[in-house]
Amino acid sequence: MDHDTQVELLDELLGLRKQGAAYLAESVSFSKAERYISDAQFAAERDAIFLKQPFLLAHSSELPEEGSFLKRDCFGIPILLTRDRDGAVHAFYNVCRHRGARLVEAESGCKHRFTCPYHAWTWDNTGRLIAAPHREQGFPDLDFDAYGLKRVTCLEKAGWIWCQIGEAASNDTIETSLAPLQADLDWLDFASYEVHAEDEKLWRCNWKIVVEGGLEAYHFRVAHAKTIGALFHDNLSTYRMFGNHIRSILARVMVDQLVEVPRKHWRIRDHANVLYNLFPNSAWLVQSDHVVLIQFFPVGVDETRIRCVTLRPSQPEPLTEKQQSYWDKNHALTVKTLEEDFELGVQIQSGMALGVNEQLTFGRFEGALDKFNAAVDAALKQD
């Protein structure tokens, strides 16, 4: 984000603050309860969105060196990520090509070859089959090239690893989905960060409820009263769409100090949280000195596995004790705050199942929730 845009957004927030107003949609909008509790809706979303559209899978620092690998389960698809000798990243179905056993069980590590635990067929980390025991006798005509690991489309870009499942997947499609964010990706220089800590849990709620929870500042002073509420102005935020992605700017109370500061010194990260909702299921919470990645992996219509990752600027030397404790505390506060949101998500889901509300109601300052749901609906229609 260039400096002019930062100034424009901060001016917008200060203007709204002065008027005592929030950034408003044209009208109140609604989202039917059925969208969060119907198995048919969930199956349609899985096919049209998760098994079709590009998504963010990992940070580049999670595959830190040649030979690094990482196992992930995404929407029921077991994925193996590897970094080869040339530094290139590959994504594969974590499924043996002989009789289909799970190839890699370890969560992560460093390995240049992977041997299936069933009959020891072995692949290198570029997905090439390199050994099949008793091949001459059992598989005399085995074409090794035809038995490479099955690939998932994957692209390393801007410090992140993006994937896309399905026949229509391509690096071009991933690039196209990220193109509207290019200026922000350049600004944020995510490759200069590394994972400090992560936390993952299963929550009993639909994935859209927890995504929606990150799209407004209406709840900050209330739901986060015991954690971060006092750091933010009440219901003061604005947002922009970047294709299906949403960038929200959430004003901290310290934004008021800017009226005393010449505009050339304004830096948006110091006075507001910048929150990117990356369609469909990830978010970056950009704060003044670090970034939080939140990933929502739907498991079922009312179950979502949520991963919260704190990324701090990487440094060549080991962390001092003081730095370690600073980032540990930071991560703990982030998780505590986000869990306030996720616990509400679980309550909403159980209330929804009771049929009390036939629909959710989004106020005019909750317009980003409607935009997100419109993107979901549009993806379902495209299918």
What, of Fe ion, ligand FES, none, does residue 133 touch, CB below 5 to 8 Å by kind? none
Q: Write 354-358 long-range contacts (CB < 8 A, 24+).
A: 355/33, 357/33, 358/32, 358/33
- H, E, C per residue of 171-237: HHHHHHHHHHHHHHHHHHCHHHEEEEEEEEEEECCCHHHHHHCCCCCCCHHHHCCCCCHHHEEEEEE
- 341 is a site residue for Fe ion (CB under 5 A): yes
Mention every residue, 6+ apart, whose C-beta is less than 8 A from residue 31: 359, 360, 362, 369, 370, 373
Q: How far is the CB of 58 from ligand FES (least distance, A)?
A: 25
CB 22 within 8 A of CB 281: no
Segment interacting with ligand FES (CB under 6 A) among 85-93, 115-123, 148-156, 203-211: 115-123
Segment interacting with ligand FES (CB under 6 A) among 81-89, 97-105, 147-155, 208-216: 97-105
For ligand FES, give the closer residue by CB, 77 or 191.
77
Q: How far is the CB of 258 from Fe ion (least distance, A)?
A: 24
What, of Fe ion, ligand FES, none, does residue 119 touch, CB below 5 to 8 Å by kind? ligand FES
For ligand FES, give the closer residue by CB, 32 or 119.
119
CA dihedral 383, 240, 344, 77 (to 10 degrees): 40
What, of ligand FES, Fe ion, none, does residue 341 touch, CB below 5 to 8 Å by kind? Fe ion
- 116 is a site residue for ligand FES (CB under 6 A): yes
What, of ligand FES, Fe ion, none, does residue 216 touch, CB below 5 to 8 Å by kind? none
Structure tokens at 7: 């100034």
Mention every residue, 6+ apart, whose C-beta is less than 8 A from residue 333: 227, 228
Alpha helices in 112-168 (DSSP H): 135-138
Q: How far is the CB of 117 from ligand FES (least distance, A)?
A: 7
Among positions 32, 71, 98, 128, the unique one binding ligand FES when judged by CB under 6 A: 98
Instruction: Please classify residue 9 by burial: count the beta carbons closer than 10 Å to its beta carbon, then call 0-12 exposed, 13-18 middle and 19+ buried.
Output: buried
List 153's β-bridge partners, or say none.
164
Structure tokens at 274: 């910048």
Q: How far is the CB of 346 from Fe ion (least distance, A)?
A: 14
Site for ligand FES in 224-263 (CB under 6 A): none
Q: How far is the CB of 148 from ligand FES (least distance, A)?
A: 14
For Fe ion, give the closer residue by CB, 154 or 308.
308
By beta carbon distance, the residue nearest Fe ion is 341
Q: How many residues bind Fe ion (CB under 5 A)?
A: 1
H-run or E-run covering 305: strand 303-313
For ligand FES, give the closer residue by CB, 98 or 269.
98
Residues in the chain: 383
Q: Write 169-177 long-range contacts (CB < 8 A, 24+).
A: 169/54, 173/54, 174/54, 177/53, 177/54, 177/243, 177/244, 177/279
- 118 is a site residue for ligand FES (CB under 6 A): yes
Q: How far is the CB of 103 from ligand FES (least distance, A)?
A: 7
* x-or-dash string of contact with Fe ion, 285-324, rule CB under 5 A: ----------------------------------------
Judged by the rule CB under 5 A, the positions of this chain that interact with Fe ion are 341
Judged by the rule CB under 6 A, the positions of this chain that interact with ligand FES are 96, 98-101, 116, 118-121
